[in-house]
Amino acid sequence: MTNKLVMNGPVVLVRGAGEQASGVGWVLAKAGFRVVMTEVAEPLMVRWPVCFGTAVSEGQWEVEGVTSSRLDDFKGCEVAWLAGEIPVLVDPELEGLSLLNPLILVDAILAKRNLGTKRNMAPLTFGLGPGFTAGEDVDVVVETNRGHHLGRLIYEGAAQPNTGIPGEVAGVSSERVIYSPKAGTFRAKRAIGEQVSVGDCLGEIDDVGRPEEVYASCSGVLRGLLRTATPVAEHVKIGDVDPRGHEEYCWTITEKARALGGAVLLGILQGGILRPLCAKDQS
């Protein structure tokens, strides 16, 4: 029995390596798929401790026992997979798609709109959340809205529209999410994992020497916060307070991200795309 992660299954390309995308990548890697993830050069990740995309700046990053490694090109993917690691590449336009030739592609950017994913990019394609239509630009849409339908697989039509209102956690919705009041450079004044109260200063946005502080609007544990020196636009999510107050939640994948990963895995198995491969292995 070994603890080493074995990734020798079909190739799955996940667009995005943020919080929800990392939940998907983690589940699929644990299931043995050869997962590769793509990101932008400077990703905005509030919950960066649980994002494989943190490897873009750190070189390597571990989330719940699974390690991601930044690569310069797709040629090093096989070496990473043999080491039980998820390769992360800065390739938002998927310029290396033809070299990778994935069996499955998952758009998990969660931009609330389609940033260029097409159904013909892989034999089986998924789109998470609003912005995709199943049967047109992807094969399967996965519902991302918290509630009864979270993780539902949609084979015709689209996910629920973006409400612009954060999902409730312990009865708290909008108050738990902190947004930038203006464009500038963010500087953190608290750290993820700390307990905060309403009115506590979490950081500031510096706009050419004119800093403006941002404050917690609910009490709880600071579950997410952008890193110091991160450039932000106006009204961008910069922090996340969890009113449940459990520090361990800061360092682990959320129930939502795990549910989305399980939904994608079910969609792959239910789609039957692996049956010809299994039959070939047995012949």
* 162-190 pLDDT per residue, tens: 888 888 888 989 999 999 999 999 999 99
- Residue-wise pLDDT tens digits, 188-212: 999 999 999 999 999 999 998 889 9
pLDDT score, position 65: 97
φ, ψ for residue 56, nearest 5 deg: -60, -40
CA distance 278 to 112: 35
Q: Which two tokens stand for residue 256?
A: 């939502």
3-state secondary structure 133-151: EECCCECEEECCCCCCCCC
Query: What domains can you pick out in the chain, each with its CATH number?
Result: 11-161+254-282 (3.40.50), 174-242 (2.40.50.100)
- Residue-wise pLDDT tens digits, 51-74: 999 999 999 999 999 999 999 999
In the sheet that holds 177-179, the strands lie side by side as 177-179, 237-242, 220-225, 195-196
pLDDT score, position 278: 58
Give the residue carrying structure tokens 């403006």. Answer: 212
pTM over 0.85: yes
